[in-house]
A and B are shown apart, each in its own frame.
Chain A
Amino acid sequence: MPNRREFLNTLMRGGILAALGMLSGALVFRSRDKNSCSYGFDCSRCSKSESCSLPAAIEARQTVWQLDPAKCIQCGRCATNCVMSPSAVKCTHAFAMCGYCDLCGGYFKPGTKALDTAAEHMLCPTNALRRKFIEDPFFEYTIAEELCIGCGKCVKGCSAFGNGSLQLQVHHDRCKNCNECSIARNCPSQAFSRVPANKPSLLKTFGNESPAKVPQKGGVNA
């Protein structure tokens, strides 16, 4: 009787082990197999080459969350829906795109006349956007990241009146890279996606300049 049970157990164990083995095999080779892309990764043939992160991701095997400024409609949910508070999404300034305007749509409240740094003119709710005079009539705008809450107010202002050099981006020093991003779940424009960890930025520049990468310890998690 016990021997029989033993035997059955061993049998089952073997079965389960085999199953797990097959599963893992499938998982490892599945997303690498060429069929996972109908064009066999020949991006020249593919229409969506821009949006598709598949080939890169397959090399990286690690993905992180990032949002596509092109899709962003500044609904303010990045500020409110992130599991971190303040949010891991922060305004990022693509200086290469900036026009260094005096009357900056992202800095001043609409209807502002006197262009000074007074509180009553400030658009940013946390005063994270800083303005510095450079030369007549140019001003540099920088972001105090520790203050930015990623509300996207300045982003909207900038893209409406300026070049759209202010853009929201997930900052991976702060992002916990949750298995499921709670902002992504609530993003009305599906702007969030998993991008390869080795190119974690979707910042829009005119190609004039690619943003500098600052390595640091965050987490690429399961």
Chain B
Amino acid sequence: MNMKTGKPQFNTIRLLENISIGSAVFAVVLCVLIIVNYIQVKRADPLNTPAMSALVEKLQNDPGNEQIRQEVRTLDLLARKAFFTAQWQVRTGGYLLFISILLLVSCVKAIELMQVKLPDAPYGKPALFWENRILKRRWLVYSGAGLFVLTLLLAWLTHNDMGKDLETAGNREPQSVNRDAGSGIRDQGPGNQKPAAGNSDSVKASPDSSSNILHPASDYPSWQEVKLNFPSFRGPGGIGITERTNIPTSWDGKSGKNIKWKTAIPLPGNNSPVIWNDRIYLSGASESKREVYCIDALSGKILWTSTVDKIQGSPSQVPGVSKETGFAAPSLTTEGIRVYAIFANGDLIALDMDGKKVWAKNLGMPANHYGHSSSLIMYRNILIIQYDQRSGPAVMGLSGKTGEQVWKTSRNVKISWASPALVNTGKRMELLLSAEPCVACYDPLTGKELWKLDCISGEVGPSLAYAKGIVFSVNEYSNLSAISTGETPKVLWENNEYLSDVPSPVATDKYLFLLTSYGTAVCYDAAAGTKYWEHDFGNPVYSSPMLAEGRVYIMDKKGVMYIIKAGKEFSMLGQCPLGEGSFCTPAFTNGHIFLRGDKNLYCIGK
């Protein structure tokens, strides 16, 4: 390259210099112009000028006026023209600028390459290295210190408790912002028409959501959330109904058809699986040992096992239980924060989601000749226990967090093996219990008795069914009664043709499905009590029927599941053997059923 050959051509260089200077000047001018133009365009958006909108306004007032119409059109044309010319100007300006700068750069580079910049050496002494070095160090320290001080200052100045704010705000649930979300939902374009969750329950103010505002929602899930899970015996509210969908209708334990997995449960227990999110909770117990299991719903792995022992006040003697009840009959419950279990000897324990004990106590050995079997249920952050035993029968509400008693209401009833039901009547939440001699209704938050009705007798085993304001109670050697709940409960109809002493009935808005322990299914009109059909499966049934997707799932003691259409006419949709006996009630998630057999827990999916 020519710099190596020395001999720079001065005139060329001068020429180049002039060009570069010229292009530099040109570039600067262009810059100014562009900026000015930009500002102009920015200031007046030609596409919606006040003049334009005013004219359109006028036109709409008297549509007949052709002259205004013309004006509008001309103005519109002008506006567009102006807009596009402005754009054109900017673009061409930009390109010109680019070219001129290109010119500038290339000239300068050319000069650089042609003309050897003669090194200005030799000059005075070389830079003083060590002194500089010390200086550098100093400066580094200074700037470091400066940076530190500056940031620290900033840090102190900035308000620094957003974290707390969010916490507190999160705790005081009221969906104030979203309350009026109903409006403006639907003009969001296609596909977004599903009303928002927060919004939907604000539209139809169910008592739950409305009273939500009074109680901090931080430490419990909303009723909606509960209904998305399967947190207690016979599903949310314990009335044998699940809203889960895509439920399998055929499987076979022997061939393994549709059996996703099966897991052996170490200790026996007649309690039914309960589910929160992806986790299933079970308990098992022998005379001496009591355990709680958490199982991964996807894999069937036992995630943790928690041994229930060292509970102070726990009686040393073994409770007398019948074989059919066992030591772990009551199902567990959970609100997604802790899981709660109770055992035949009155041991009650709360575990966190990792199986660590949060609190535990003993409610005193229940005086119960078959063994305690009433399952637990949860409302908000209150753990509700039906403790109907010979001495001092009562229902009590415990704080889920601490286990302290929130309320206790003693009941003048005989021993009951039924489990509580928790229903939303549309006006209030009602806690419903069944035991000789009455079906009684309590406020789940305070334990206050709302009503009671003498209509049942004997050793009550079946829990209650509920639908559309009607409570159904049944017991063997007693009778089946439909009670309209509310301020003034009354018996709508009674019947004692078919009765049950273990399986609980389920009801839809229109039908009641009753199952006798001998395995006869009966369907009544829920409102009138007229019998639609009956069907004998021939095998005794202990597990309670579940209602899902308009089908009734009934499993007999041998583990054969009968799937029936929940309708006016009897129609069998399926008959699926588990290949293992079972006393337990199935649990459901979307697309899956979980069945506890005598030894194993099964996951059934499509």
Q: Which residues of A contact B (CB under 8 A)?
A: 39, 44-45, 47, 69-74, 97, 109, 111, 113-114, 118-120, 125-127, 155-156, 159-160, 163-165, 167, 204
Partner of B591, one of A44, A109, A126, A160: A44
Residues of A near B192 (CB, < 8 A) are: 70-71
Q: CB distance A120 to B76 under 8 Å?
A: yes
Q: CB distance B59 to A72 under 8 Å?
A: no
Partner of B69, one of A120, A163, A164, A167: A120
Q: CB distance B48 to A125 under 8 Å?
A: yes
Q: CB distance A119 to B189 under 8 Å?
A: no
- Cα separation A165 to B189 with both chains bound (whole Å): 9
Against A, the Cβ 8 Å flags (1 = close, 0 = not) of B44-61 are 000110000001100110
> Is B72 interfacial (CB 8 A cutoff)?
yes
Q: Which residue from chain B places its CB closest to the CB of A112 in the assembled complex?
A: B60
Q: How far is the CB of A32 from chain B (nearest CB, A)?
A: 20
> Is B188 interfacial (CB 8 A cutoff)?
yes
Interchain Cβ contacts under 8 Å between A and B, 19 examples: A44-B591, A45-B591, A70-B191, A71-B192, A72-B188, A73-B189, A111-B60, A113-B63, A118-B72, A120-B59, A120-B72, A125-B48, A126-B80, A127-B80, A155-B189, A159-B187, A163-B190, A204-B189, A204-B191
By Cβ-Cβ distance, the 9 closest A-B pairs, closest first, are A164-B190, A70-B191, A119-B76, A159-B189, A120-B72, A204-B190, A70-B192, A125-B47, A160-B187
Residues of B near A159 (CB, < 8 A) are: 187-190
Q: How far is the CB of A128 from chain B (nearest CB, A)?
A: 12
- Cα separation A12 to B48 with both chains bound (whole Å): 64
Q: CB distance B76 to A97 under 8 Å?
A: no
Q: How far is the CB of B414 from chain A (nearest CB, A)?
A: 45
- Cα separation A109 to B53 with both chains bound (whole Å): 11
- Cα separation A109 to B76 with both chains bound (whole Å): 14
Partner of B187, one of A44, A47, A156: A156
- Cα separation A44 to B248 with both chains bound (whole Å): 14
Residues of A near B60 (CB, < 8 A) are: 111
Q: CB distance A72 to B189 under 8 Å?
A: yes
Q: How far is the CB of B421 from chain A (nearest CB, A)?
A: 28
Q: How far is the CB of B123 from chain A (nearest CB, A)?
A: 31
> Is B73 interfacial (CB 8 A cutoff)?
yes
Q: CB distance B69 to A118 under 8 Å?
A: yes
Q: CB distance B189 to A74 under 8 Å?
A: yes
Knowing A114-B63, A119-B76, A120-B59, the reply to whether A167 touches B188 (Cβ < 8 A) is no
Q: Which residue from chain A places its CB closest to the CB of B77 in the assembled complex?
A: A119
Residues of A near B149 (CB, < 8 A) are: none
Residues of A near B591 (CB, < 8 A) are: 44-45
Residues 201-249 (chain B) with a chain A CB within 8 angstroms: none
Residues 123-150 (chain B) with a chain A CB within 8 angstroms: none
Partner of B56, one of A120, A156, A160: A120
Q: CB distance A126 to B47 under 8 Å?
A: yes
Q: How far is the CB of A115 from chain B (nearest CB, A)?
A: 12
Q: CB distance A119 to B63 under 8 Å?
A: no
Q: Which residue from chain B places its CB closest to the CB of A69 in the assembled complex?
A: B189
Q: How far is the CB of B192 from chain A (nearest CB, A)?
A: 4
Residues of A near B76 (CB, < 8 A) are: 119-120
Residues of B near A160 (CB, < 8 A) are: 187
Residues of B near A111 (CB, < 8 A) are: 60
Q: CB distance A120 to B189 under 8 Å?
A: no
- Cα separation A39 to B590 with both chains bound (whole Å): 15
Q: CB distance A167 to B298 under 8 Å?
A: no
- Cα separation A125 to B52 with both chains bound (whole Å): 12
Q: How far is the CB of A77 from chain B (nearest CB, A)?
A: 15
Residues of A near B187 (CB, < 8 A) are: 156, 159-160
Knowing A159-B188, A167-B190, the reply to whether A45 touches B298 (Cβ < 8 A) is yes
- Cα separation A204 to B190 with both chains bound (whole Å): 7
Q: CB distance A69 to B190 under 8 Å?
A: yes
Residues of B near A165 (CB, < 8 A) are: 190
Partner of A119, one of B72, B191, B298, B590: B72
Q: How far is the CB of A52 from chain B (nearest CB, A)?
A: 16
Q: How far is the CB of B446 from chain A (nearest CB, A)?
A: 36
- Cα separation A125 to B590 with both chains bound (whole Å): 48
Q: CB distance A164 to B189 under 8 Å?
A: yes
- Cα separation A114 to B59 with both chains bound (whole Å): 11
Q: Which residue from chain B places its CB closest to the CB of A205 in the assembled complex?
A: B190
Q: CB distance B73 to A119 under 8 Å?
A: yes
Residues of B near A114 (CB, < 8 A) are: 63
Knowing A119-B72, A120-B76, the reply to whether A70 touches B298 (Cβ < 8 A) is no
Residues of A near B77 (CB, < 8 A) are: 119
Q: How far is the CB of A8 from chain B (nearest CB, A)?
A: 21
Residues 56-112 (chain B) with a chain A CB within 8 angstroms: 56, 59-60, 63, 69, 72-73, 76-77, 80
Q: Which residue from chain A places its CB closest to the CB of B83 in the assembled complex?
A: A126
Q: Which residue from chain B places its CB closest to the CB of A110 in the assembled complex?
A: B60
Q: CB distance B189 to A118 under 8 Å?
A: no
Residues of B near A72 (CB, < 8 A) are: 188-189
Residues of A near B298 (CB, < 8 A) are: 39, 45
- Cα separation A126 to B189 with both chains bound (whole Å): 21
Q: How far is the CB of A148 from chain B (nearest CB, A)?
A: 13
Knowing that A70-B190, A125-B48, A156-B187 touch, tell me 18 more A-B residue pairs with CB under 8 angstroms: A44-B591, A45-B298, A72-B188, A72-B189, A73-B189, A113-B63, A118-B69, A118-B72, A119-B77, A120-B59, A120-B69, A126-B80, A155-B189, A159-B188, A159-B190, A164-B191, A167-B190, A204-B189
Residues of B near A156 (CB, < 8 A) are: 187, 189
- Cα separation A73 to B73 with both chains bound (whole Å): 31
Residues of A near B48 (CB, < 8 A) are: 125
Q: CB distance B73 to A118 under 8 Å?
A: yes
- Cα separation A97 to B189 with both chains bound (whole Å): 12
Residues of B near A118 (CB, < 8 A) are: 69, 72-73
Q: Which residue from chain A places its CB closest to the CB of B187 in the assembled complex?
A: A160
Residues of B near A120 (CB, < 8 A) are: 55-56, 59, 69, 72-73, 76
Q: Which residue from chain B places its CB closest to the CB of A40 in the assembled complex?
A: B298
Residues of B near A163 (CB, < 8 A) are: 190
Residues 511-563 (chain B) with a chain A CB within 8 angstroms: none
Q: Which one of B76, B192, B590 has the greatest number of beta carbons of chain A within 10 Å?
A: B192
Residues of B near A69 (CB, < 8 A) are: 189-191
Residues of A near B56 (CB, < 8 A) are: 109, 120
Knowing A45-B298, A120-B56, A120-B73, the reply to whether A70 touches B47 (Cβ < 8 A) is no
- Cα separation A114 to B66 with both chains bound (whole Å): 13
Residues 580-606 (chain B) with a chain A CB within 8 angstroms: 590-591
Residues of A near B190 (CB, < 8 A) are: 69-70, 97, 159, 163-165, 167, 204
